Amino acid sequence: MAKRVLLVEDEPELRRAIVVRLNAAGFQCEVATNGKEGLEKVEHWHPDLVIADLLMPEMGGCEMVQRLRARHETSRVPVIVLTALPRQAKEERIEDLPSVRLMHKPFDSAELLVVINDMLAKDSAGGPSDG
C-alpha cells in the first residue's frame, strides 16, 4: 500500500509542486496550510510521514512538531521540517527532537525523496529513532 505523506505548507504553488513530485514517486498525499490544520489532519488521517514548513501563519512547523512529540500517538511519526531561514538559525535545535530532519529551501527533490525513504525505512524498522 502506498505510504501516506502529509504536507503542511502555506505557499500554494510550492505545495502543488511537492504534491506532484510525491505523487509521481508513488506516495499518497494530503495537504494542510498551517500547523493547526496539520495537527488535525495527523489525528484523522494518520500519515506515515509529515513534511512541514517552518514559518506558517497560525502555527509554524516548530510548534507543530513539538505538539506532535508531546502526544503519545504521534510521538514517533517522522517529520521533515522545511526552512528558508538562514542556516545555523536557532531553529536547528528542533533537530534534537527524535525523528526530525531539517531541510533548507530551495531543496533538491531527489534529496527530499532520499530523506523521506530513509526516514520511513528507519521508522518501520522500529529501531531507535533518529535524533
Residue ranges binding another protein (CB under 8 A): 11, 13-14, 17-18, 20-21, 24, 55, 82, 84-86, 88-89, 92-93, 96, 104-110
Residue whose CB is less far from another protein, 49 or 77: 49
Nearest approach, Cβ of 112 to another protein (angstroms)? 9
Residue whose CB is less far from another protein, 86 or 126: 86
Tell me the residue ranges of DSSP E strands in 35-125.
Answer: 49-53, 79-83, 100-104
Residue whose CB is less far from another protein, 12 or 75: 12
Nearest approach, Cβ of 71 to another protein (angstroms)? 24
Q: Do residues 50 and 68 make contact, with C-beta atoms less than 8 angstroms apart?
A: yes
Cβ-proximal residues to 105 (8 Å cutoff; 6+ apart), any chain? 82, 83, 84
Residue 79: all three cell numbers together: 517529520
Nearest approach, Cβ of 55 to another protein (angstroms)? 6
Neighbours of 2 (CB within 10 A): 12
